[in-house]
Structure 1
Amino acid sequence: MKANYKFSNVCGTVYRQGNVLFTPDGNSLLSPVGNRVSVFDLLNNKSYTLPVENRKNIAAIALSPDSNVLITVDEDGRALLINFRRGIVLHHFNFQKPVKDIQFSPDGKYIAVTHDSHVQVWHTPNHLAREFAPFNLHRTYTGHHDEVLSIRWSPDSKCFLTTSRDMTARLFTLDPLEGFRPKTFAGHRDTVLGAYFSANGQTIYTVSRDGAVFTWKAKVMDQDMDTDDESPPVPSTSNGKVQRGSTNAIATTRWGVHERHYFNLANTKVVCTTFHPTSNLLVVGFSTGVFGLWEMPAFTNLHTLSISQEKISSVAVNPSGEWLAFGARKLGQLLVWEWQSESYILKQQGHYFDMNTLAYTPDGQTIATGGDDGKVKVWSVHTGFCFVTFSEHSAPISEVAFAKNGQVLFSASLDGTVRAFDLVRYRNFRTFTSPKPAQFSCLAVDPSGEVVAAGSSDSFEVFLWSVQTGTLLDILTGHEGPVSALAFSPAGDSQLASASWDRTVRVWSVFGRSRAVEPFTLNSDALALAFRPDGKEFAASTLDGQVMFFDVKEGKQTNVIEGRKDVAGGRKADDRMAAANSSSGKAFTSLAYTADGSCLLAGGNSKYVVLYDVRGGEGVMMKRFQISQNLSLDGTEEFLDSRKINSAGINTDLIDDRGDASDLEDRMDTTLPGATRGAGDMSVRKYRQEARTKCVRFSPTGRAWAGASTEGLIIYSLDDTVTFDPFDLTIDLTPQAVLSVLGEKEFLKALVLAFRLNERPLIQRVYEAVPRGDVRLLARQMPVVYVPQLLRFVAEHLDRSPHLEFDLLWVQALMMAHGRYLKDRSGEHAAILRTVQKSLGNVEESISKLCDENSSTMNFLLDQMRLTKRKDDVMLES
């Protein structure tokens, strides 16, 4: 059994806080999810999460224009410098203060960062060289009287605009200019959220929180001197004293207000804004969940659309200006809108509250989750996207389970219903209820898929229903405490095991005439239960941290694992004792066997998930996974940080700072007394989420496991996503060796070797060297393991290469030779096939357009020829 599972993806969370941004090619969207960054590939319909973590939740991110360097800054101002293409942390840096905005200059040489009321500009570190101190400060810019909120560079990277809470915007130059003082853009009556340059740099737009948009242009020389610009006139270049940098036209311009526009939306504030200079589009997100699109400078409203029930936290526009991305923090929504076609490119939302449970389909390609928000969501493992949401339940979901064929999904809820969902037609086709109202805390489905069972937490009973008819078959009584877990025996011998807080596990023969029941006594309250895949043994976890194993046939205990020390998590902010002495959370609440029954995965109210080897009754811990290192969550620190204790002896993490928020709705406390989602105790003034895993499940293939955690649906998989297979490499496999094989005209061997090295320039060189007549032969002989890679390469080559006929020959030959292989795995290779389809569509469109143009030209030439001939005939007749 392999234990080298690596972090793979976060599926259940798409946006938490901070800014979203597009990559320079406009095909991918970066979104902060807690202390990680997820990348959504909008072209291939896939998502993945970078395997790097910040210390706390991310507040701001920035990507260099060449897509090589990504900087993520957390709430405390601690930053990570990341090689974006490889997902590797290059350097850690501390900006010392919280960062509101961080921007790369258009030429990629500088990084501008907000630093309270100041702005710092740093030289961009080299992502290829390992430097001792890669961050080199260029200059610190002062002038604002309050916190700086945003930065926007000019197109030539010689100056930048900043906005602040002091209701002004300022213009700074990168390098000092003689006689230049930072120019102030005043006149707004509320916080200025954004200031933007037009594409030609001759117009500046400023947007304030109260919905005012000012247009600034150069002043006419004889204009009245009553102005908002408090900088003195700049000396002309004829005096010979101005530095070479004075060619900066933006800095030497005398700016004045040209026009004032207002959104005029009652009881609405502007929350976020962005501007696309090329198309002069101003995008604004409001506190009501509405976004608007205005064309400047005419201030023409193109679109106004309500996309969320809560305020929009972040907005971004892709480089082409076609797609708009929005993030809503409170609901965890992420949307990408194509404004010209008025359609969604991406629309995703995670669970509003905690994720409670998950289940894999038998083929391991799909995961279903249930949350405290009463919703059941179904996620694709391959793409990382949720493709259907069921919201019929009216209370938290306690457990979900799939039928054997994977086309029916069952869910149990505290609203007293068990529902069955059809995953072919996406509908709730059956609802199971009890004679008296009961809160269902657990669920189990018979291996045949004909019987579903649910346990109650208030009546202490187990209910069984027929899936075909929906009728109640039986009520199993005998437990004296809430039923916490249910499981049918995988052996199909009609045995149902139920675990309860009455310190027993009961095994019922539900379909036998004897209706026999066998109780197993535990040392403490039972929390979780799992059958071994062969059905001969089951494991039960208890409140005292033990995992006990029982032989079903012999009816005796076979092994016990003391897991208190293994699952023990970190110290919470309000704990009065050290983590080692605290008993809270030192128990497993979820268990899962591997497909071969050799290992057991266990998770609980802790930051750890533990993998045990249970072969031969050993119970040895193989590996312990830490699901999160996010210090914004409770229970991730092992020791109390004395730096967070103030003079009154109070932990600063527990001090409620909502009163410092700028928005009224953020300052208001709407939580009810006793509500665990806000404050479980009236004395608690601040609620922090805890790092915990409520449910763990192994994939049926054994290649991955998933956990329903505070951070979302985390997936750990065996690390098989490397760019090359090391077993296929030898010490002699080098680019020079590939070129020598190519020189010997062994084209198939050279192409395979190039794909093993996975270096794009080398692949392109070998590919373009293949003779046209050998394409069909090579396509037939190409090993199938390299066919998807070759097909993707041909599709991308088709988009930007003049070798049109050559690429079309390759596509036709590959489809003819390996079409059946690709069709049988259409789900796995759907993104590649879509890329090929898109490239062929673009080619067809360009060729048809060229043909239309040529036919018009030919008709014109023919008409001219007839006209000339007619003139010649007339002249001859005369």
Structure 2
Amino acid sequence: MKANFKASFSNLCGTVYQQGNIIFTPDGNSVLSPVGNRVSVFDLVNNKSFTFPFQNRKNIAALALSPNGTILITVDEDGRALLVNFRRGIVLHHFNFKKPVNAIEFSPNGSFIAVTHESHVQVWKTPNHLVREFAPFNLHRTYTGHHDEVLSIVWSPDSQCFITTSKDMTARLYTLDPLDDFRPKTFAGHKSAVLNAYFSSNSKSVYTVSRDGAVFVWRAKASDSSSDSDHVPTSPDPSVAHVRWGIHQRHYFNQPNAKVVCSAFHKPSGLLIVGFSSGIFGLWEMPTFTNVHILSISQEKISSVAVNPSGEWLAFGARKLGQLLVWEWQSESYILKQQGHFFDVNALAYSPDGQYIATGGDDGKVKLWNTRSGFCIITFSQHTASVSAVQFASQGQVLFSASLDGTVRAFDLIRYRNFRTFTSPSPVQFSCLAVDPSGEVIAAGSTDSFEVFLWSVQTGKLLDVLAGHEGPVSSLTFSPTTNVLASGSWDKTVRVWDVFSRSHTVEPFQLNADVLSLAFRPDGQEFVVSTLDGQLTFFSANLSKQTNVIEGRKDISGGRKADDRVAASNSASSKAFTSVAWNADGSCVLAGGNSKHVVLYDAREGVLIRRWQISENLSLDGTEEFLDSRRMTEGGNIDLIDDRGEDSDLEDRLDVSLPGVQRGDLSKRRYKREARTKCIRFSPTGLAWAAASTEGLLIYSVDDGLSFDPFDLSIELTPQSVLLTLQKQSYLEALVMAFRLNEKTIINQVYEGIPYEEIGLVARQLPATYVPRLLGVSAEVLERGPRLEWGLRWIREVLSVHGRWIRERSVDLASVLREVKRAVSSFEGIVAKLCDENTATLAYLVDQSRVKEDAENKMSLDNPFGR
């Protein structure tokens, strides 16, 4: 793993929505949600989620997906856009709109893109995603007329005109191309900013929604001429452009103390969905304005709403709480209900099988995430303060968490309940946690009493209190092989305790700076200590001596804060590792801290193998390397100037922070989150590692799905060559070639041509990429074929050899495993039935033999002198 370790960004958990608009894919089966400067896709049908690896410069403000689902455009807060191939997740072009963008919409035919440009609207021709162009964005036209910022854009069904809404309390109708005797139509009459406008299904009506809760229905006015023509449009265009629009009806939502924040409209059903600032959303049928449903789904305002093309599912995003909900309004049930951590993620831990990750955050919640699907399974909210550490028991069925509220809690992951709570005799704050390898003893270190507390998991009683440190205990860990407990403290010492011995006298390891983190090697022979001076010091657990030192100040340095006067390379602050972890084989050490970098070292040679940058988001503090003089003004750095007074909502302009508050405001008028890594852990399988960062839970994994296969380059891959290889008794090569050729008859012929005694060898040597295909073929042949033992041997060998790999991907292979289970279960029933029949037959034969024997005995008694 040392030199050839290549990890790539795999997924982002812990954050499901931050800001911007939520959109559905054209098939309606997936939801796209902006998370910081990335985009996450939630597959609602297959119950999976993934995050694209590309990043915008800053937090994403607007998303748009082409009608055919091939092009995705993401625009950040400054108006810089990325043109992405949605199916492959590859960035095709970068473009700068030079102004903040509130809305961006593709035309229904996919040929144009309309973008808000403050009080103007720009329409661009859609770039060709199949051809690499030097200047792919061509401006079609710029439209003016609004006196304030444009908020939304909606296209007509024929893509020939569109309606824009603005803060100037009006909506305007524009045509794509100039028309004779046409002037943009103005929809005036609202008393507040117009948030959205929509065309009806027949384009004979226009609905406008304003912030104060008013909905106006616009239709064609009667003609002044004496003719019977009333100019009601019979087709969307060009009649829509020439209609004299007037207010037909006025409707009001009448929600007390609530403003309209967002809305969506489903044309085929005429369903209007509106989200309010009170966390309530409602459904109304238009144009009758019949209320269908009103439901409260959040404690904060709903930031974004979307409806899928079929009109069955509604997606809601709440910015302040980081919630993402998908609701089926007809059955009144949740399809998806996810919420990330409200504040930063402080701690994480992998389950022993690597399938789950537990996280603890500043919001006092403990969450359990599935590494394959990316969804949160359960949330425990028993803690009343920040969670400082989490750890699984050795069997993986119990999760422990330590918090600053003075409790350590044990959670049962089978019944999902808090079954044990551990406390100290006097109230203290727990900063770290460790679990004995047997899972029977748990230890926690305090920040104020400088002691280590040990409890029995079975009884919940306090077993011992280890005293000796002269500063806050920052890290605890048990040796994986012995009952030795190592504790690190800010008093610049590491103490190794034998917790089950009578004497607790220990000789501390003295270091040059405060201890921030420590970790034992998987074999328990060595442990690494991270200190405040940026060093990683290695100690032998058996010899009690120092074995190696790595100077990491220059490796972790990077990231200049907004209020720093020097570049990142000259800054003396935050150059230390706050979390360290060993890989599965104990050859490498992963470290991260108050920096945007995570580094991987060779533990034996002490050299840097690789360095990752966890985020390129300029919305976070500490991602830039140098001082940007363009951001400096007479009032200071623009990023530190309080601009909340410019917000549109009153509740966003109010300053509700308390004097001296330390969370979220940091006693400043504006608090900018810093790019940092608070915890790092390696997966038990060694194929992935996770980092608890400012943006959420980042997961990096070895990408085994893109491994090179030489059969891809072979032009001689034909049915004849496959059968010839089978005749040469190269069974593994023939099977792989058949899978690559992907012809069912050839696959079955090769599969059935492998001898019974070669099954075990072929199953062991088969690449893991082809395991799902082989299981599917085995299940199919087993159901229809007469060779029972031969088919069961295939399944047994594949499951026994590749069982761990299959278990890690149980979510992806669920359909194949169900086929295998059905095939084996059907034969189980057949065999059971056959055994019953054979038992009955044998019983009948035994009974008949007894009858015959009795008859012969009777004849011999009747005729004792038989002849």
Partner of 2:258: 268
Aligned mate of 1:181, from 161, 176, 183: 183
| 3-state secondary structure, aligned to 2:619 | coil
In structure 2, distance between residues paired with 1:183 and 1:819? 69
The verdict on how the C-alpha distance between 1:175 and 1:336 changes in structure 2, with shifts beyond 3 A counting, is same
Q: How far is 1:776 from its partner?
A: 9.8
Gapped regions of structure 2 (runs ≥ 5): 820-867
Superposed CA deviations along residues 625-675 of structure 1, whole A, max 9, x for unmatched, are 1000000000000001111112x1611111011000000111111122222
The answer on whether the counterparts of 2:778 and 2:794 sit within 8 Å (CA) in structure 1 is no
Partner of 2:518: 529
The answer on whether the counterparts of 2:232 and 2:243 sit within 8 Å (CA) in structure 1 is no
2:422 is equivalent to residue 432 of structure 1: yes
| 3-state secondary structure, aligned to 2:651 | helix
Partner of 1:127: 129
Q: How far is 1:8 from its partner?
A: 0.8
Q: How far is 1:421 from its partner?
A: 0.4
The answer on whether the counterparts of 2:327 and 2:335 sit within 8 Å (CA) in structure 1 is yes
The verdict on how the C-alpha distance between 1:614 and 1:200 changes in structure 2, with shifts beyond 3 A counting, is same
Q: How far is 1:542 from its partner?
A: 0.9
Partner of 1:393: 383
Partner of 2:57: 55
Q: Which piece of structure 1 moves more, 507-516 or 362-371?
A: 507-516
2:652 is equivalent to residue 662 of structure 1: no
The verdict on how the C-alpha distance between 1:501 and 1:158 changes in structure 2, with shifts beyond 3 A counting, is same
Q: Which amino acid aligns with 1:593?
A: W
2:337 is equivalent to residue 353 of structure 1: no
Partner of 2:697: 713
Partner of 2:860: none
Matches within 5 A, 1:64-143: 64-143=66-145
| 3-state secondary structure, aligned to 1:72 | strand
Partner of 1:872: none
Q: How far is 1:306 from its partner?
A: 0.7
The answer on whether the counterparts of 1:81 and 1:91 sit within 8 Å (CA) in structure 2 is yes
2:618 is equivalent to residue 631 of structure 1: yes
The verdict on how the C-alpha distance between 1:776 and 1:611 changes in structure 2, with shifts beyond 3 A counting, is closer
The verdict on how the C-alpha distance between 1:175 and 1:742 changes in structure 2, with shifts beyond 3 A counting, is farther
Q: How far is 1:249 from its partner?
A: 2.2
Q: How far is 1:217 from its partner?
A: 1.5
The verdict on how the C-alpha distance between 1:378 and 1:85 changes in structure 2, with shifts beyond 3 A counting, is same
In structure 2, distance between residues paired with 1:716 and 1:397? 24
**Percent identity at matched positions?**
68
In structure 1, distance between residues paired with 2:784 and 2:310? 31
Aligned mate of 1:679, from 665, 688, 712: 665
| 3-state secondary structure, aligned to 1:565 | helix
Partner of 2:217: 215
The answer on whether the counterparts of 1:788 and 1:829 sit within 8 Å (CA) in structure 2 is no
The answer on whether the counterparts of 1:569 and 1:585 sit within 8 Å (CA) in structure 2 is no
Matches within 5 A, 1:728-767: 728-733=710-715, 737=717, 756=740, 766=743
Partner of 1:485: 475
The answer on whether the counterparts of 1:604 and 1:694 sit within 8 Å (CA) in structure 2 is yes
2:482 is equivalent to residue 498 of structure 1: no
Partner of 1:462: 452
Matches within 5 A, 1:208-607: 208-222=210-224, 248-492=238-482, 494-607=483-596
Runs of 4+ in structure 1 deviating by more than 6 angstroms, as ranges, are 233-237, 739-746, 748-751, 771-776, 778-784, 790-795, 813-824, 835-838
Q: Which amino acid aligns with 2:493?
A: T
| 3-state secondary structure, aligned to 1:121 | strand
In structure 1, distance between residues paired with 2:429 and 2:93? 51
The verdict on how the C-alpha distance between 1:528 and 1:745 changes in structure 2, with shifts beyond 3 A counting, is closer
Partner of 1:699: 683
The answer on whether the counterparts of 1:775 and 1:809 sit within 8 Å (CA) in structure 2 is no
The answer on whether the counterparts of 1:636 and 1:691 sit within 8 Å (CA) in structure 2 is yes
The answer on whether the counterparts of 1:508 and 1:518 sit within 8 Å (CA) in structure 2 is no
Q: How far is 1:580 from its partner?
A: 2.1
Q: How far is 1:731 from its partner?
A: 3.0
Q: Which amino acid aligns with 2:564?
A: D
Q: Which amino acid aligns with 2:632?
A: I
Q: How far is 1:410 from its partner?
A: 0.4
Q: Which amino acid aligns with 2:475?
A: A
Q: How far is 1:553 from its partner?
A: 2.0
Q: How far is 1:676 from its partner?
A: 2.7
Q: Which amino acid aligns with 1:527?
A: L
The answer on whether the counterparts of 1:698 and 1:704 sit within 8 Å (CA) in structure 2 is yes
Q: Which amino acid aligns with 2:129?
A: H
Superposed CA deviations along residues 673-696 of structure 1, whole A, max 9, x for unmatched, are 222323323xx3211000000000
Aligned mate of 2:205, from 182, 192, 203: 203
Q: Which amino acid aligns with 1:703?
A: L
What RMSD in Å do the two structures reach over aligned CA positions? Answer: 3.3
Q: Which amino acid aligns with 2:66?
A: S
Partner of 1:35: 37
2:818 is equivalent to residue 828 of structure 1: no
In structure 2, distance between residues paired with 1:645 and 1:286? 38
Superposed CA deviations along residues 12-62 of structure 1, whole A, max 9, x for unmatched, are 110010011011011111100100001111111111110100000000011
Q: Which amino acid aligns with 2:429?
A: Q
| 3-state secondary structure, aligned to 2:240 | helix
Partner of 1:653: 639
Q: How far is 1:721 from its partner?
A: 2.8
The answer on whether the counterparts of 2:735 and 2:747 sit within 8 Å (CA) in structure 1 is no
The answer on whether the counterparts of 1:82 and 1:88 sit within 8 Å (CA) in structure 2 is yes
Q: How far is 1:790 from its partner?
A: 8.5
Q: Which piece of structure 1 moves more, 60-69 or 772-781?
A: 772-781
The answer on whether the counterparts of 2:102 and 2:151 sit within 8 Å (CA) in structure 1 is yes
The verdict on how the C-alpha distance between 1:592 and 1:775 changes in structure 2, with shifts beyond 3 A counting, is closer
Q: How far is 1:828 from its partner?
A: 2.6
The verdict on how the C-alpha distance between 1:150 and 1:752 changes in structure 2, with shifts beyond 3 A counting, is farther
The answer on whether the counterparts of 2:215 and 2:251 sit within 8 Å (CA) in structure 1 is yes
| 3-state secondary structure, aligned to 1:518 | coil
Q: How far is 1:835 from its partner?
A: 9.6
TM-score of the pair, normalised by structure 1: 0.85
The answer on whether the counterparts of 1:112 and 1:119 sit within 8 Å (CA) in structure 2 is yes
The answer on whether the counterparts of 1:63 and 1:104 sit within 8 Å (CA) in structure 2 is yes
Q: Which amino acid aligns with 2:618?
A: L
| 3-state secondary structure, aligned to 1:788 | helix
The verdict on how the C-alpha distance between 1:816 and 1:202 changes in structure 2, with shifts beyond 3 A counting, is farther
| 3-state secondary structure, aligned to 2:507 | strand
TM-score of the pair, normalised by structure 2: 0.86
Gapped regions of structure 1 (runs ≥ 5): 225-232, 238-244, 758-762, 796-804, 839-878
The answer on whether the counterparts of 1:44 and 1:835 sit within 8 Å (CA) in structure 2 is no
In structure 2, distance between residues paired with 1:168 and 1:374? 45
Q: How far is 1:619 from its partner?
A: 1.1
The answer on whether the counterparts of 2:364 and 2:387 sit within 8 Å (CA) in structure 1 is yes
2:673 is equivalent to residue 689 of structure 1: yes
The answer on whether the counterparts of 2:565 and 2:627 sit within 8 Å (CA) in structure 1 is no
Q: Which amino acid aligns with 2:352?
A: P
The verdict on how the C-alpha distance between 1:110 and 1:3 changes in structure 2, with shifts beyond 3 A counting, is same
Q: Which amino acid aligns with 1:433?
A: T
Q: How far is 1:581 from its partner?
A: 2.3
Q: Which amino acid aligns with 2:703?
A: D
